[in-house]
Structure 1
Amino acid sequence: MKKILMIGTGGTIASKQTDAGLKPGLTAEDVLSYIPAVKDVCRVETLQVLNLDSTNMTPAHWKNIVNAIEENYSKYDGFVVCHGTDTLAYTAAALSYMVQNSAKPIVVTGSQKPISKDVTDAKTNLLDSFIYAADDESQNVSIVFDGKVICGTRAKKERAKSYNAFSSINFPYLAVIQDGVILRYIQEVPVRGIPSFYYEMSDRVTLLKLYPGMKPEVLSYLFENYDIVVIESFGVGGMPEALMQTFYAEMEKWKNADKLAVMTTQVVSEGSNMTVYEVGRQIKQDFHMIESYDMTLEATITKLMWLRGMNYSHERLREAFYTEINKDMLYRKK
């Protein structure tokens, strides 16, 4: 029988009702006690590394999770990370870059209702996660939620209250779990070699979400204070005319300072392609801009945090960004 380590980080699944609202209060051991059926699936041990609302999750907390996995990697056959749903997609993406080439599954899960409630999705999500983590074919970082298995770099929370909170963006579900049975849609190539663990995640990456009528001065502030500005544009990606002059001035000003602008899109599905319209084609050409194509925003941000943490130069960072990790990017035109 497989031996799985359950890592507690807090979140709704471990929350208790207080006068101020729901707040994480159950330990990983407490949470596990609500699914006695797990004894028929695998042997489980628990480790509490955090106990916080996932709204408060930061890269420093990701390092704690990665450290727990690395220190225990040789002792267990897989890992289940219990996490709040609000930033779960960011954490799963971050773990995909911070723990690479893992032949052992690292499953991230949570729930929309606390596990202590009479009506909750927590028990099913958690038991399904152990079923998936204990399967011989499971590997790398993934999310198990509402009976679906999502690649760690492809998830987005699209519903605030419903049990089917997460969707897989621009990529099929890896599998579904029905009545305790895993139905795999994608046959994965088995991971070979040893895993790599990374801890440096840069805080010099920021996000600018464009909206009609935005003042150009915001660009100056962001380029002054950050190394990489991810621009979440409209449609397939472009720059509004009102921002263009300032954008060109800032790119020229910082061209020798190892600063980058990266284009992504506010549209969830189908990705960016800056070469389609004049508003994107020109700046793509003039600055050889990186764009995210079919990547999720969560994967784009966390991948850039990881790459900047590696202190890669412009060209090396560009090459590494367009190198697929845990299925994060299918389409790319360097």
Structure 2
Amino acid sequence: MKKILLLSTGGTIAAVHGADGLVPALQAEELIALVPELTDVCEVECRSILNLDSTNMHPEDWKFIATSIMDELDAYDGIVVSHGTDTMAFTSSMLSFMLAHVDKSVVLTGSQVPLVEPGSDGRRNILDAFSVAASGRPGVFVVFNGKIIKGCRAVKVHSARLDAFSSVNQSEAGRVEGSKVVFRLHEEPVSVRRRLDIRMDERVFLLKLVPGIDASIIDFLREKGYKGLVIEGFGAGGVPNARLDLLDAIRRAVDAGVSVCITTQCLYDGCDIGIYDVGIAAGKAGAVSTFDMTPEAVVTKLMWVLGHTHDPAEVQRMMLENYCGEIDPG
């Protein structure tokens, strides 16, 4: 029987009612005790490493989680991380980069309803996550409501529905059907020894454009010392280039050593700044298109890339390189 480790980090799945609403409180052992059916799936060990509402998850916590996983991976056949849903997609994306060439299953899961509540989705999600972890499929995954999603493709699309996550711009990796794990995507062979790479520069800002946005916001971010700027453009990645023009501010940021990337506010189909003049002009100003990456993947990848280099050409090269299935420039 496979041996799987649970690392609990808090979230709704571990929450109880406190004086001011739901707060994470349950320890890993208590989570496991609430799902006794796990003994039919695998041998289980568990450890609590954090107990946070994921709204309070910080980039430094990603380093800690990644290091905790790598420290334990030799001793187990796979690892499950229980996590709050609100920032799970950021964590799963960053772990996809930090756990380079991971050769075992690392599975994130959680719930929309606390595990202690009647009818919680947490029981199913925990069982499914352990089943996937025991499958031996290498990679970082989010397992939720029966879906198996690559960690770098997961996006939370519902704030309350149990079907909280979707795989964006890529098919689901698979499904858990009853007690059976069915993978749909071809398994990528791991031929390089896994390694932990937690270098990052968290000075990255995600800016969502609205009509009439003041270009001085970009200057402000540059002056505040941000080294990366991800702009959520309109449609295919449009950035205003007339009337309230953002291009000069982008040029000033790029000239000052800020890496500027363009993504889209649209959930599906990605961005391509080579179609319209409002995108092409942004590219000429020094911005980089991120194609079909999710915003969570763009933000975390840029942090990770900037941890390795601040050279503009190298940043662009690394942002457009596919490391874990996060991008298809097509």
Bin the TM-score by the shorter chain: over 0.9
Q: Residue 70 of structure 1: CA displacement?
A: 1.6
Distance in 1, matches of 2:88 and 2:12, equals 11
Structure 1 counterpart of 2:326: 328
Distance in 2, matches of 1:321 and 1:280, equals 18
Counterpart secondary structure, 1:319:
helix
Distance in 2, matches of 1:253 and 1:183, equals 47
Query: RMSD between aligned alpha carbons?
Result: 1.4
Counterpart secondary structure, 2:129:
helix
Tell me the amino acid that sits aligned with residue 186 of structure 1: L
Tell me the amino acid that sits aligned with residue 230 of structure 2: V
Q: Residue 310 of structure 1: CA displacement?
A: 1.4
1:168–1:254 distance in 2 versus 1, CA, 3 Å? closer
Alignment of 1:195 with 2:194, yes or no, is yes
Structure 1 counterpart of 2:153: 154
Counterpart secondary structure, 1:65:
helix
Structure 1 counterpart of 2:204: 205
TM-score, normalization by structure 1: 0.95
Structure 1 counterpart of 2:67: 67
Counterpart secondary structure, 1:329:
coil
Alignment of 1:275 with 2:305, yes or no, is no
Name the % identity: 38
CA contact (8 A) 2:219 2:249 kept: no
Structure 2 counterpart of 1:142: 141
Deviations 1:220-253 (A, max 9, x none): 1012221111110110012212442x53255147
Distance in 1, matches of 2:249 and 2:190, equals 46
Structure 2 counterpart of 1:29: 29
CA contact (8 A) 2:222 2:253 kept: no
Deviations 1:239-296 (A, max 9, x none): 212442x5325514751x3222111110010011112111111221x23431111000
Distance in 1, matches of 2:13 and 2:123, equals 9
CA contact (8 A) 1:12 1:24 kept: yes
Distance in 1, matches of 2:219 and 2:317, equals 27
1:162–1:252 distance in 2 versus 1, CA, 3 Å? closer
Structure 2 counterpart of 1:94: 94
Q: Residue 19 of structure 1: CA displacement?
A: 2.2
TM-score, normalization by structure 2: 0.96
Query: Out of 302, 305, 320, which is 1:304 matched to?
Result: 302
Q: Which runs of 4+ in 1 moved over 3 A?
A: none
Distance in 1, matches of 2:305 and 2:62, equals 15
1:250–1:183 distance in 2 versus 1, CA, 3 Å? closer
CA contact (8 A) 1:207 1:230 kept: yes
Tell me the amino acid that sits aligned with residue 297 of structure 1: P
Give structure 1 stretches of 5+ with no counterpart. none
1:250–1:172 distance in 2 versus 1, CA, 3 Å? closer
Question: How many residues in Structure 1 have an aligned counterpart in Structure 2?
Answer: 328
Structure 2 counterpart of 1:5: 5
Tell me the amino acid that sits aligned with residue 184 of structure 1: F
Structure 2 counterpart of 1:123: 123
Query: Out of 265, 285, 288, which is 1:287 matched to?
Result: 285
Counterpart secondary structure, 1:275:
coil
Structure 2 counterpart of 1:176: 175
Structure 2 counterpart of 1:239: 239
Give structure 2 stretches of 5+ with no counterpart. none
